[in-house]
Amino acid sequence: MTCILQLVRGVAARVRGPGGLPSLVLTGMAAVSVALACKGADWALETVKVYGVGCLAGLAVLSAAVCSRMMGRPALLALHLGFALVLGGWVVNEVGGGEEGCLKLGPGQSGDVAGTDQLTLQSFVIDRWEDTGTVRQYTSKVRNEKGENLEISVNHPLVVRPWWVYQSSYQEMANPRTGEVARDSRTGEPLYFTILLCVKDVGLPLVAFGAVLLLLGAFAYVWAYLKRTASFATPVRRVTKSVWGLYALAFLGAVAMLVHRGFSTGHPPMQNMYEFLICTAALLPALTFVSLRFDRRDTLLVDSILLAVVLIPVGFFMDGSVKHLMPALQSPFFVPHVGAYVIGYVLLVRAALGAGRRLVGLGFFLLTVGLVLGAAWGKVCWGHWWQFDPKEMWSLATWLLYAAYFHLRPRLSPRADRAFLIAGALMVVLTLTWINLSRLFSGMHSYA
């Protein structure tokens, strides 16, 4: 009992101190996010929707209230206010009129988008890759009440305010007498029903504005952090030209592999873990020079170990077969979303290994960019900016861990500081390997 009272008093004293309340909130949310991620997407979705709306509403109000204590710190104010708006937008959508429905249309059939507009399916087209026959894109050509001819395809929704109409999936039409696949009488091609997802997201303006504030706040905070933080580095040691030459040769080899892979696949090589590791290997030497510029630290030893012992060897154990991009990945968000995470993850892992620790702030900013771009991509492609996918939840937990780190960092001892960075690096590694656990935890990212 005495230990419990001492623990309670310690927590209360920390909360009363400057920055204690937001640190407690962020740490608690990180723990909740990890728990939800470990339980899986279905359990997380059910739990949050049944029990979590009130908690999220309270957290949104609490985060907004904390902003009153940060009027003199605009970067943190933007971060907290943005986080509150994102949570508030989710709550508003859950309790304030967010709706979802489907239209299943055959050629010539019509359907109403919740009384807002009537869409008539003119034709449904499946575009396939010539070499493999797999689906490249599928498109519904529709006509609205005004007589306008419109197209709806994956990553290209139709906006009928306040509704968004998405190309969700399709289904073969069957002959009612024989049960066989129905075919066009002229071309002999199979006929399909198109399935359109209709989403009304009333909280989207709050979420969008909150996301912008998160990006601005993260950038401003990291910029100030880089300016005021003294480098942890030791003076740069002189390295022989032969060592730099070998490292440059490895860099050129990784770049050659990346370029060859890009031409072989016909798309930016960031689709699976094999391509992800090649891309990381090509970027790592560039980050070595960035560290020399901003951190004045000799990171060559750590970076060369990562390159020669981890990235390239592990890549050869991954599936390197060439595959076309599925329709969902054919998006302008693909390269910046994955690229931000690639660079951010490398910076954070290097910081845990003692190389380039001053750049951990830049890694946090890139995590924020990847998270916001991923949410925007999800809205454009899947209809919702957050799907409670296991990998999404784990990425959020990683982001919250580093957010808590920056809040607590002025009070951390050197040992606790290093423990935080190592824990963050482990979270990064688990996020990367999550796609290989898709058999246990299925989700929207299981295709990678």
Single out the residue in 75, 95, 115 at which a domain terminates: 95
Write out pLDDT tens, residues 49-64: 554 445 555 555 666 5
Q: Are residues 144 and 284 in the same domain?
A: no
Segment 167-191 mean pLDDT: 77
Residue whose tokens read 């009488």: 185
pLDDT at 52 (0 to 100) = 47
pLDDT at 235 (0 to 100) = 46
CB 197 within 8 A of CB 231: no
Q: Are residues 161 and 89 in the same domain?
A: no
Its pTM stands at 0.80
Pairing of the two strands 149-153 and 158-160: unpaired
Within-domain flag for 207: no
Cα distance between residue 446 and residue 448, in whole Å: 6
Count how many domains the chain has: 3
Write out pLDDT tens, residues 415-424: 888 888 888 8
Q: Are residues 418 and 309 in the same domain?
A: yes
Contacts of 70 (CB under 8 A, 6+ apart): 76, 77, 80
* Helix (H), strand (E) at residue 279: helix 273-294
- Asked if the model's pLDDT at residue 405 lies above 70, the reply is yes
Write out pLDDT tens, residues 259-283: 888 887 777 887 777 888 888 888 8
Write out pLDDT tens, residues 81-125: 888 888 778 878 877 777 888 888 888 888 888 777 889 888 888
Q: Are residues 359 and 224 in the same domain?
A: yes
CB 395 within 8 A of CB 349: no
Q: Are residues 323 and 340 in the same domain?
A: yes
Q: How confident is the model at residue 254 (pLDDT cuts 50, 70, 90)?
A: confident
CB 272 within 8 A of CB 331: no
Segment 37-51 mean pLDDT: 53
Q: Are residues 66 and 109 in the same domain?
A: no
Within-domain flag for 84: yes
Single out the residue in 40, 66, 95 at which a domain terminates: 95
Cα distance between residue 418 and residue 388, in whole Å: 30
Segment 3-16 mean pLDDT: 56
CB 438 within 8 A of CB 445: yes
Q: Are residues 34 and 104 in the same domain?
A: no
Q: Are residues 229 and 298 in the same domain?
A: yes
Q: How confident is the model at residue 366 (pLDDT cuts 50, 70, 90)?
A: very high
CB 347 within 8 A of CB 283: no
The CATH number for 174's domain is: 2.60.98
Angle at alpha carbon of residue 64, lines to 60 and 70, rounded to 5°: 145
Within-domain flag for 208: no
CB neighbours (10 Å) of residue 100?
12
Q: Are residues 80 and 104 in the same domain?
A: no
How high is the mean pLDDT of the chain?
Answer: 76
Q: Are residues 241 and 338 in the same domain?
A: yes
Tell me which of 158 and 397 has the higher pLDDT: 158
Within-domain flag for 113: yes
Within-domain flag for 13: no
Single out the residue in 200, 228, 248 at which a domain terminates: 200
Structure tokens at 258: 């990346």
Write out pLDDT tens, residues 302-312: 777 777 777 77
Q: Are residues 233 and 376 in the same domain?
A: yes
Q: How confident is the model at residue 231 (pLDDT cuts 50, 70, 90)?
A: very low
Least confident range from 202-216, 345-359, 433-447: namely 433-447
Write out pLDDT tens, residues 19-34: 555 556 556 655 665 5
Tell me which of 69 and 175 has the higher pLDDT: 175
The range of the structural domain enclosing residue 136 comes to 99-200
Q: Are residues 351 and 238 in the same domain?
A: yes
Task: Give, rounded to a whole angstrom, the gap between the first and last alpha carbons of the chain.
Answer: 49
Within-domain flag for 239: yes
- Asked if the model's pLDDT at residue 369 lies above 90, the reply is yes
Within-domain flag for 8: no
Within-domain flag for 209: no
